[in-house]
């Protein structure tokens, strides 16, 4: 369900999401329940598509931690999600293991996540694999439509914000599980620091 799309262009990274909530086959009207589908975690922003309950779980998990996790690259994002997996099984006894593929050796969160920070765009699959995307990525039921829109617009003169908004709007117009309004946040890109050894 939903759409979350991130676009990186000209030293800016924009994360845009829809705001429609679906409870099974029920769609909640925007006038009754509407909001951004991303949360700020330190200097990063995370969007999730799939089970709405993850927003409650993440808020609870983050509220229990003494320090804000650093979500600034593949390694730290993977560490965050592997620790989340442990906490899901230790603290929330209503969570069960699921696998998208019966032949897979890995469990599944049965949701996907999109993280943006000053270091880039990172997708987190349901099996916890983390990938960094150079230009753009999208998750949710509207992702194929949003990705097509970004692909068509990326080389145009439009900036990252306009492209991300257009991609989210395209998903909203063509996917029944996505709905207005669009919410977006912009992060300024920052190159990774490199350590130099003194001779």
Q: Do the domain assignments include residue 117?
A: yes
Q: Do the domain assignments include residue 198?
A: no
Q: Do the domain assignments include residue 58?
A: yes
pLDDT of the chain, 199 residues: tens digit per residue: 799 999 999 999 999 999 998 888 888 888 898 778 999 999 999 999 988 889 999 999 999 888 999 999 999 999 999 999 999 988 988 887 665 566 677 888 889 999 999 999 999 999 999 999 999 999 999 999 999 999 999 999 999 999 999 999 999 999 999 999 999 999 999 875 544 444 4
Say which CATH number the domain at 56 has. Answer: 3.60.20.10
- Which residue segment(s) compose the domain that 43 sits in? 4-188
DSSP 39-77: EEETTEEEEEES-THHHHHHHHHHHH-SS-----SHHHH
Q: How many domains does the chain have?
A: 1
Tell me if residue 9 falls in helix, strand or coil.
Answer: strand
DSSP E strand boundaries for the chain: 4-9, 12-17, 21-23, 26-28, 38-41, 44-49, 112-117, 120-124, 130-133, 136-139, 183-188
What does the block give as tokens for 197?
A: 């050894």
pLDDT of residue 8: 98
- Degrees to nearest 5, angle at CA 69 with 7 and 140: 35
Please name the residues in contact with 180: beta carbons below 8 A apart, sequence gap of 6 or more: 18, 19, 20, 30, 169, 172
Q: Do the domain assignments include residue 143?
A: yes
Q: Do the domain assignments include residue 54?
A: yes
Quote the CA–CA distance of 153 and 9 in Å, as a whole number: 12
Quick count: other Cβ atoms within 10 Å of Cβ 147? 18
Q: Quote the pTM value.
A: 0.90
pLDDT of residue 194: 45
Q: Do the domain assignments include residue 162?
A: yes
Quote the CA–CA distance of 156 and 178 in Å, as a whole number: 25
Q: Do the domain assignments include residue 197?
A: no
Tell me if residue 101 falls in helix, strand or coil.
Answer: coil
Q: Do the domain assignments include residue 193?
A: no
């Amino acid at each position: 369900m939903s759409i979350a799309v991130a676009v990186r262009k000209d030293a800016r990274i924009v994360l845009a999401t829809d705001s429609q909530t679906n409870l099974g086959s029920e769609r909640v009207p925007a006038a009754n329940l509407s909001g951004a589908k991303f949360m700020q975690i330190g200097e990063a922003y995370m969007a999730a598509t799939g089970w709405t309950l993850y927003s409650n779980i993440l808020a609870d998990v983050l509220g229990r931690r003494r320090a804000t996790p650093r979500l600034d690259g593949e390694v730290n994002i993977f560490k965050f999600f592997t620790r989340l997996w442990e906490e899901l099984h230790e603290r929330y006894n209503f969570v069960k293991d699921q696998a998208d593929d019966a032949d897979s050796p890995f469990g599944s969160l049965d949701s996907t996540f999109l993280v943006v920070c000053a270091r880039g765009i990172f997708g987190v699959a349901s099996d916890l694999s983390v990938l960094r995307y150079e230009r753009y990525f999208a998750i949710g039921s509207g992702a194929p439509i949003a990705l097509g829109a970004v692909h068509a617009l990326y080389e145009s003169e439009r900036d990252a914000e306009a492209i991300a908004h257009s991609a989210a709007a395209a998903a909203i117009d063509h996917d029944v599980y996505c709905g207005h309004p669009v919410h977006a946040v912009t992060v300024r890109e920052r190159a990774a620091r490199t350590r130099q050894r003194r001779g």
